[in-house]
Amino acid sequence: MTPATHAAAPPPPHVHSGDTAAIHHDPRDLRNALGKFATGVCVITTRGPDGKLEGLTANSFCSISLDPPIVLWSLRKDAGSLSTFKEASHFCINVLHARQVGMSRHFCSPQLNKFDGVADEFTEGLQGIPALKNALATFECEQLEHHSVGDHIVFYGAVKRYTYSQATPLAFHSGAYTTVQPLSD
């Protein structure tokens, strides 16, 4: 019987105190713990200064200000698309609905041109950035700045235009796609 199915009480949580540089952790175990926070799923798109289209699947998106409207998202420093996103003046956050798992998987794959086979699913947004036609929500943003934090670059964008629908959101929890359903009172 694995610890996950054992009927006994779970072990106490790991508690770390003091200097965070001294904390030793298993990266996979930390990722498992972070995965307990359910997130939405987005495809983030842009057009580089040279016209190159880029896109990727992410769940590192959040709103940080309503007045003015500002959002952020992050990208690993070793991502092949990093230079295009850093140089781009605009990007689009395309929040996916439950029937768009295939779109999420497509933009997770390592192909060179992420828009092969799906270009007709997008329309041209501000400054030529691709905006997903049937997304749950889109946020077309002017890039304000980006900062290096740990092994990621955090991008900040001023929301210039947005759309949304009432479809069921696609979510990601504990390493798997799921949906969000309201609780009954």
Confidence of residue 25 (pLDDT cuts 50, 70, 90): confident
**According to the model, what pLDDT value does residue 99 have?**
97
Asked if the model's pLDDT at residue 10 lies above 90, the reply is no
Region of poorest pLDDT, from 24-38, 66-80, 162-176: 24-38
- The hierarchical CATH code for the domain 40-174 is 2.30.110.10
Confidence of residue 162 (pLDDT cuts 50, 70, 90): very high
Strands (E), the chain: 39-40, 42-47, 53-58, 62-66, 69-76, 90-95, 122-124, 130-132, 137-149, 152-164, 170-173, 176-179
HSE-CB for 148 with a 13 A CA cutoff:
4
In residues, how long is the chain?
185
**According to the model, what pLDDT value does residue 16 have?**
44
pTM over the 0.85 mark: no
What's the rounded Cα separation, in Å, for the pair 127 and 64?
A: 23
